[in-house]
Structure 1
Amino acid sequence: MSKALDGRVALVAGGTRGGGRAIAVELGRAGATVYVTGRTTRGHRSEMGRPETIEETAELVAEAGGTAIAVRVDHLVPDEVRALIERIDAEQGRLDVLVNDVWGGDVYLEFGRRLWEHPLDEGLRMLRLGIDTHAITSHFALPLVIRDPGGLVVEMTDGTAEFNAAYRADAGFFYDLVKVSVQRMALAQAEELKPFGGTAVAVTPGWLRSEAMLDLFGVTEDNWRDATAAQPHFCISESPAYVGRAVAALAADPRVARWSGQTLSSGHLAGVYDFTDTDGTRPDFWRYAPEVQYAGRPADDTGYR
């Protein structure tokens, strides 16, 4: 897929870290000019309190041979998003790929709490961060996306449509609502973009080895398997590059419209587009999770990579 996206312009909204960062890198590696947005810069941290910055993401895109422009944007502020899209229009005259990856609600997650037990202000903040940001960004970005046929919108979620058909009681009401809503947003945008030759999909990684997840287990990407001593099912985890490659493959596919409105996983797309994770394997978490982890079977990724 070397430089398959030459001449294309992408916006990764929420590209500071994790999957968003990797998506920006892989889109840039494939030749796209990538605008990377988020709230954390070298001079300012968001409420997430994480050290990763949008400038670092842009540097990683450059190291991969791509071009990136880092812009600090709070996607809950319409004027900031409007200004961002106006800047992309003025500088590029087009927007081919919009990746809505804004989240930032992990700091408010309280596993095992019911709706009435979860602090209301924190729950509502999760909805604002995970839903409103995507709607605001698409509101301003879609007129530029549809200027040329073939535009693609990627709504980043957590969980396949089949998995999320059941209530995710472990994560709770607000998290469940955010991730299912994002899938519905992809379906809605697919319908609205269709007359203009555009496509919208939702994409989910599996168990993502984000910077925060690695820190949680006290490991690095180099020795991540050490974390299986504490959580054996972490054996099925995947690097952020895996979902980055999934989105880059979608963006480069001239037949991407066949997926419009669907929720797609990195593991599924790896088989379709013939890419692997950084270790050469193809982890399929969303097949593993119901068949092994939630079925109470011993951790064993044999046959799931």
Structure 2
Amino acid sequence: MSLALSLILALLLDYLLAEPKRFHPLVGFGNLANRLERQFNRGAEQRRGGVLAWCLAVLPLTLLAGLLSCWLSDTPVLQAVIGGVVLYLAIGWQSLLSHALAIAEPLQQGDLKAARAAVGMIVSRDTSALDEEAVASAATESVLENGADAIFAAIFWFCLLGIPGVVLYRLSNTLDAMWGYKNERFLRFGWCAARLDDLLNYLPARLTALSYALMGQTRIALSSWRQQAADWKSPNAGPVMAAGAGAVNVSLGGAAVYHGELQQRPPLGPESGERPSALSIRNACGLVNRVLIFWCVTLYLVLALNAALNGAPL
């Protein structure tokens, strides 16, 4: 049951400590990624440079994580503890909720300026001219999408491949966030990071979407997923955000300004759903929490059943 112990420890650390304010390993990894990008994102071979940079950034650390996991295999308690610490560093549960509530609270109090500033910290769209509904929509979308990226995908890969799995996923996802832009600088260089992140998120995104549906308004969520996911710009964000919007019965999507360019985005959720508000942000947070409990209970039951079938103690 070391897997379950690692997950409980990771969530407990995240709940008590939230995201480390200083000396987070991903900050150092980001600095490394910036140096690699400056070195390899040049000339005519940008795509090849992006592949090489991704390999140099991700593969050595994943290999070290695999060697660490093998070294710990004979000491399950220590493996559970170190695995829990690594998973804690890879998830962003409380960070996501705190950012969301930092938007919902001023929005509820009528402080639009503070809400705009807070939502600008977690989304890439231009927030300077957003009205209250647009701020709430951006925040709700971010909670639903990042619930998959920052929490559930990391847990999925940890459960599947242990420490090297979650290291591979988190580093790859971080590079996609840094290099995955479709602009002149990163369109070719970031191709590898973006495609591999899509691949690693394919199954976790759909499990998250299904979990959102089961833990929310199931019929509406499944209908939104079926009708809207394929129209969304991201193959993985589409199912997650459509199912999530349906699960909390809110209408999202629509026009938004990114880097000075107006983009008309497809609708998410039921057309007759509630309008985005501080309540929809809180409802999205509640949905993420319910799904997290659902995953923990499901994992425990699967492990308990496996132990019973094999005659092993829990």
Higher relative contact order (CA 8 A, sep 6+): 2
TM-score of the two chains, using structure 2 as the length reference: 0.24
Structure (1 or 2) with the greater helix fraction:
2
Rg larger in structure: 2
